[in-house]
Amino acid sequence: MRIGLVCPYSFEVAGGVQFHVRDLAECLLGRGHEVSVLAPAEAETPLPEYVEACGRALPIPYNGSVARLTFGPMTAARVNRWVEAGAFDVVHIHEPLVPSVSVLALWAATGPIVATFHTSLVRSRAMQAGYPLVRSSMEKIRARIAVSEAARQTLTTHMGGDAIVIPNGVFTDRFAAAPPHPPWQGRPGRPTVAFLGRIDEPRKGLPVLLEALPALLERHPGVRVFVAGHGDLSAARDRLEGLGPAVAAAVDFLGAISEEQKRALLASVDVYVAPHTGGESFGIVLVEAMAAGAPVVASDLPAFAQVLDGGRAGAMFATGDAAALADRLAGVLADSALREQLARLGRTTARRYDWGVVAGDVVAVYETVLAGAVAVPPSPWSVLGAAERFGARRHPSAETADQRADADSKGRAGWRPRLPRRLRRR
């Protein structure tokens, strides 16, 4: 198949959706498919040969984070050229409601479209405000995928319809084979803990972890905490100084680390901690930690609970509760048998999310969509129809009242193509 993947977020800055799109592209290429990825990025950004940059991105606050997006006439023209030149059998758009390349590709594409939804939000004013702009174009989507039950619920709450749950993937063998790095390994009386995430993004939970450290040090005075990730360290360092010299001495800031270093870190530490406070639709780093053999201690977010098999494959604590985190983390560090059990169950659980399984399910969706493919005219919101955006013309696929009612009923009822049995059971 010729497959076009669309990522709304810039490839200049690492993020979960970018990693998902990149890894899916590599899996599909490995299976013999032709793949092109369209994403924002500066022209000089080093990119894999299958990624086509479509313009400079601007930082926009979104979902408790900062999303780097691109939009506008020049980007729209690039998107249209990519769609036309690609002659794709399937265009797979990630986050089709994000006002970036994804929306533009949804307007421009005329062939079979698959969409994946990653966002998990209880309330999203942006999604509610943006949906009317793409409502007619959403009818062009032939299959919806959500990366978790939390993402599926966000979709159904804000837009109706339904989606198939196919999780994010991990190359589990790469993590399982990672050699430990001795300076990051624990030893008797000196256990090690790792945190991965943007340093200055509060929802990743670093402030909760730092607040838990004084109580943790009372029970494990020799504990060392390795903090890895992008972001401004000033706030974290100020918080540490306020907690005293012993706490500050227990924390090592590693900064941004490579994928190889990340795998080594997770293979080395006694425990991986995920104190996130919200806005998580999946928890890919939990799978990576489990695949590397690190016991996981995580906040009890619904998305994390799903990944950790309801808490059987990892220890959980009340979200945002620093005292509960300190108590849970101290208990796991004190119990070597529990750590061995969590590591064993974690490795088994992680295999469910291996890209060999996940990519196979995504391809099954493509094949099902292609089996019932019908060409769809471009949206009136595409760059070609810009002059008529505020007119009364209906989308050509719903010209009559009966057709419009049928299209609307399909959207409300969660219409989707009939899928292979293993996907219908999810």
Question: What is residue 2's DSSP assignment?
Answer: E
Q: What confidence category does residue 16 fall into, taking pLDDT thresholds of 50, 70 and 90?
A: confident
Q: What confidence category does residue 325 fall into, taking pLDDT thresholds of 50, 70 and 90?
A: very high
Q: Report d(CA 180, CA 170) in Å as an integer.
A: 19
Q: Going from the N-terminus, what domains does the chain have, and what CATH number goes with each? A: 2-169+355-424 (3.40.50.2000), 172-352 (3.40.50.2000)
Percent of the chain with pLDDT over 70: 81
The predicted structure's pLDDT at residue 145: 96
Residue 397 clears pLDDT 60, i.e. is over it? no
pLDDT digit string (tens) for 56-77? 766 666 555 666 677 778 888 8
The predicted structure's pLDDT at residue 320: 96
Burial of 392 (0-12, 13-18, 19+ CB in 10 A): exposed
pTM of the model: 0.79
More confident residue, 343 or 132: 343
More confident residue, 413 or 137: 137
Which are the contacts of 125, defined by CB distance < 8 A and separation ≥ 6? none
The predicted structure's pLDDT at residue 156: 87
The predicted structure's pLDDT at residue 297: 98
Q: Report d(CA 228, CA 351) in Å as an integer.
A: 25
Closest to 16 in 3D by CA, of 229, 316, 205, 311: 229
Residue 402 clears pLDDT 50, i.e. is over it? no
Min mean pLDDT across 189-193, 200-204, 277-281 is at 277-281
Neighbouring-strand partners of residue 53:
39
User: Would you call 41 helix, strand, or coil by DSSP?
Assistant: strand
What length is written for the chain? Answer: 426
More confident residue, 39 or 99: 39
pLDDT digit string (tens) for 193-215? 999 998 988 899 999 999 999 99
Q: Report d(CA 234, CA 206) in Å as an integer.
A: 13
**Average confidence score pLDDT of the chain:** 84
Q: What confidence category does residue 414 fall into, taking pLDDT thresholds of 50, 70 and 90?
A: very low
Q: Report d(CA 50, CA 52) in Å as an integer.
A: 7
Q: What confidence category does residue 343 fall into, taking pLDDT thresholds of 50, 70 and 90?
A: very high
First to last CA, the chain: 25
Residue 97 clears pLDDT 50, i.e. is over it? yes
DSSP 3-state helix, strand, coil percentages of the chain (rounded to 5)? 50, 15, 35
pLDDT digit string (tens) for 227-274? 999 888 888 888 888 899 999 999 999 999 999 999 999 999 999 999
Q: Where are the beta strands (DSSP E) in 102-256?
A: 113-117, 141-146, 164-165, 192-196, 224-228, 251-255
Strand-by-strand arrangement of the 2-6 sheet: 51-53, 34-39, 2-6, 90-94, 113-117, 141-146, 164-165
